[in-house]
């Protein structure tokens, strides 16, 4: 093998996703873009708010705009702007030295996992979970251990408590969740905090909580609780990929609770981890987001789609929970084999992702980061696919 043995499996799983991409392109060429209903990707189609482009143009015209290297954790003035914003939102007294600007949430996850984990240590995460976690754990040389959630995709605290061992270093959560859309409530997060504290004491080793929150601003009629409030040994990370529709610009950050054990050391290590992969977060977009704290896309666009899609699928006979956040639906597969059902959907020119890909078999994921008409025009195909297995 000309490539490293350890890469073979990773390439295989990446090529599954690539195949899906290619299938979408092939189908669009064959049937025409309007006749293909691609719900496979969480790539926001809602344009960034106008102010993003305005800010970008102003920065480009401004001689003071920097395009050079900066301290690896990011421009001091941008980290200060992020810290000030977080203090308005979270009231935990965060300082800019505890912020690291990153290449998206993926960059932040890679930085923090490499900062915290020794090779062979465990990351625990509730399943279903975002597939990227496998890759980030791989890069960190750590094991990703999944813990099944409850029927409603909320945290199964007993199962988590039973899954923690002396090898556990990190609990990684994601709320609003990709793929389920679940938003964890304050009580379950407090319960999680209690058991992480108890396990840290029991094993004489601090277990850190990482809260992956790129969908925090995309929530419907619920307040997404602040994880910093429940457990001080927490690192919150996010990006502007979804809330500002800037996924391709690769910009995000991580923030460490000031009272986290060894907070300064962790911030330093995460900054150094940054230099090992991509050196620093993109300069221009750091300066853009530094000026746009608190700005988001119009969430109502996603709410409307969620409602049309949920109503249409329920009417067609699908079983699903109405998600409280993010832009995914995670309906039950009408047959046990979700991979097979996704194939049946593709016969209707509908592209979905089997739940098994997220550690959630028996379901399938639909991203509604697509135009309303794609949703409306797909509903007939969903009905036909369901009828074909009845
Ligand atoms: N975490 C979750 C749960 C995601 O869904 C994604 C992207 O879809 C990421 C992290 C990575 O986000 P980014 O594009 O900001 O790196």
- Bridge partners of 124, per DSSP, are 145, 171
Each residue's pLDDT tens digit, 265-289: 999 999 999 999 899 999 999 999 9
pLDDT band at 257 (very low <50, low <70, confident <90, very high): very high
Closest CA to 65 of 294, 275, 288: 288
Report the atom number in ligand 1 closest to the C-alpha of 130. 3
Output the ligand 1 site: residues, CB below 6 A: 42, 104-106, 130, 132, 174, 178, 212, 214, 239, 241, 247, 252
Tell me, in angstroms, the distance from the centre of ligand 1 to residue 62's CA. 31
Q: From the alpha carbon of 251, which atom of ligand 1 is closest? A: 15
What does the pLDDT look like over 76-116, one tens digit per residue?
999 999 999 999 999 899 999 999 999 999 999 999 999 99
pLDDT of the residue at 160 = 98
- Atom of ligand 1 lying closest to residue 241 CA: 15
Q: What is the pLDDT of residues 40-71, one digit of tens each?
A: 989 999 999 999 999 999 999 999 999 999 99
| CA end-to-end distance (rounded Å), the chain | 46
Distance (Å) from CA 386 to ligand 1 centroid: 30
Is the pLDDT at 309 greater than 70? The verdict is yes
Alpha-carbon dihedral angle through residues 324, 238, 198, 157, given to the nearest 10 degrees: 20
pLDDT at 1 over 90: no
Give the model's confidence band at 17: pLDDT under 50 very low, under 70 low, under 90 confident, else very high: low
Indicate if the pLDDT at residue 28 is higher than 80. Answer: yes
Contact criterion met (CB below 8 Å) for 108 and 280:
no
Place of tokens 């106008």: 50
Q: Is the pLDDT of residue 4 over 90?
A: no
pLDDT at position 16: 66
Q: Which of 213, 214, 264, 305 has the alpha carbon at shortest distance from 97?
A: 264
CA–CA distance, 384 with 63 (Å, rounded to integer): 59
What is the distance in A from the centroid of ligand 1 to the CA of 129? Answer: 11
* Calpha distance 221→170 (Å, rounded): 30
State the average pLDDT over residues 295-309. Answer: 98
| 106, 133, 135, 281: residue to mutate for ligand 1 pocket, most atoms within 8 A of CB | 106
The 10s digit of each residue's pLDDT in 123-146 is: 999 999 999 999 999 999 999 999
For the chain, percent of residues with pLDDT exceeding 70: 99
Q: Which of 11, 8, 43, 7 is nearest to 24 (CA)?
A: 43
Mutate to test the pocket of ligand 1, among 44, 132, 237, 359 (most ligand atoms within 8 A of CB): 132
- Per DSSP bridges, beta strands 143-148 and 122-127 are parallel
State the pLDDT confidence band at 373, using cuts at 50, 70 and 90: very high
Cα of 128 vs centre of ligand 1, distance in Å, is 14
Q: Whose CA is closest to atom 8 on ligand 1?
A: 42
Neighbouring-strand partners of residue 122: 143, 168
**Strand boundaries in 188-266, DSSP class E:** 208-212, 234-239, 252-256
Residues 6+ apart with CB under 8 A from 371: 45
Sequence-distant (6+) residues with CB within 8 A of 112 are: 210, 235, 237, 254, 266, 270, 273
Domains defined for the chain, CATH in brackets:
5-49+297-387 (3.90.1150.10), 65-290 (3.40.640.10)
Separation of CA 214 and ligand 1 centre (Å): 6
Q: Which atom of ligand 1 is nearest to the CA of 103?
A: 16
Which residues in 219-240 are b (16+ Cβ under 10 Å) and which e? bbeeebbbbbbbbbbbbbbbbb
For residue 105, the CA-to-ligand 1 centroid distance in Å is 5
Beta-bridge partners for 256: 235
9 pLDDT band, cuts 50/70/90, is confident
Tabulate helix, strand, coil % of the chain (nearest 5): 45, 15, 40
Report whether pLDDT(13) > 80. Answer: no
Q: What is the pLDDT of residue 31?
A: 92
Would you list the DSSP string of 286-318? HHHHHT-TT----HHHHHHHHHHHHHHHHHHT-
């Amino acid at each position: 093998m000309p490539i490293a043995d350890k890469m073979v499996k990773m390439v295989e799983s990446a090529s599954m996703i690539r195949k899906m991409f290619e299938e979408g392109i092939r189908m669009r060429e064959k049937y025409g873009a309007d006749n293909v209903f691609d719900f496979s990707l969480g790539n926001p189609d809602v344009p960034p708010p106008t102010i993003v482009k305005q800010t970008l143009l102003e920065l480009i015209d401004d001689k003071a705009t920097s395009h050079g290297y900066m301290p690896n954790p990011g421009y001091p003035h941008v980290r200060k702007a992020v810290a000030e914003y977080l203090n308005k939102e979270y009231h935990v007294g965060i300082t800019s030295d505890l912020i690291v600007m990153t290449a998206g949430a993926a960059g932040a996850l890679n930085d923090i996992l490499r900062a915290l984990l020794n090779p062979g240590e465990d990351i625990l995460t509730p399943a279903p979970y975002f597939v990227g976690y496998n890759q980030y754990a791989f890069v960190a040389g750590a094991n990703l251990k999944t813990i099944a959630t409850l029927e409603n995709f909320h945290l199964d605290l007993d199962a988590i408590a039973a899954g923690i061992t002396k090898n556990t270093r990190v609990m990684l959560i994601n709320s609003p969740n990709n793929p389920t859309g679940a938003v964890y409530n304050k009580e379950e997060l407090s319960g999680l905090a209690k058991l992480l504290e108890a396990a840290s004491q029991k094993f004489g080793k601090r277990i850190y909580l990482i809260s992956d929150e790129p969908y925090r601003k995309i929530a419907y009629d619920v307040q997404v609780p602040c994880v910093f409030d429940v457990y001080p040994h927490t690192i919150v990370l996010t990006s502007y990929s979804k809330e500002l529709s800037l996924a391709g610009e690769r910009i995000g950050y991580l923030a460490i609770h000031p009272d986290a054990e060894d907070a300064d050391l962790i911030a330093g290590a995460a900054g150094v981890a940054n230099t090992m992969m991509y050196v620093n977060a993109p300069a221009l977009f750091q300066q853009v987001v530094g000026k746009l704290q608190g700005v988001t896309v119009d969430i109502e666009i996603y709410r409307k789609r969620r409602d049309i899609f949920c109503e249409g699928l329920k009417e067609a006979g699908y079983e699903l929970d109405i998600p409280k956040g993010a832009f995914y639906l995670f309906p039950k597969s009408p047959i046990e084999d979700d991979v097979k059902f996704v194939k049946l959907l593709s016969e209707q020119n509908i592209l979905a992702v089997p739940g098994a890909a997220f550690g959630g078999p028996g379901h399938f994921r639909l991203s509604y980061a697509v135009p309303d008409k794609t949703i409306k025009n797909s509903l007939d195909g969903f009905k036909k696919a369901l009828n074909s297995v009845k």
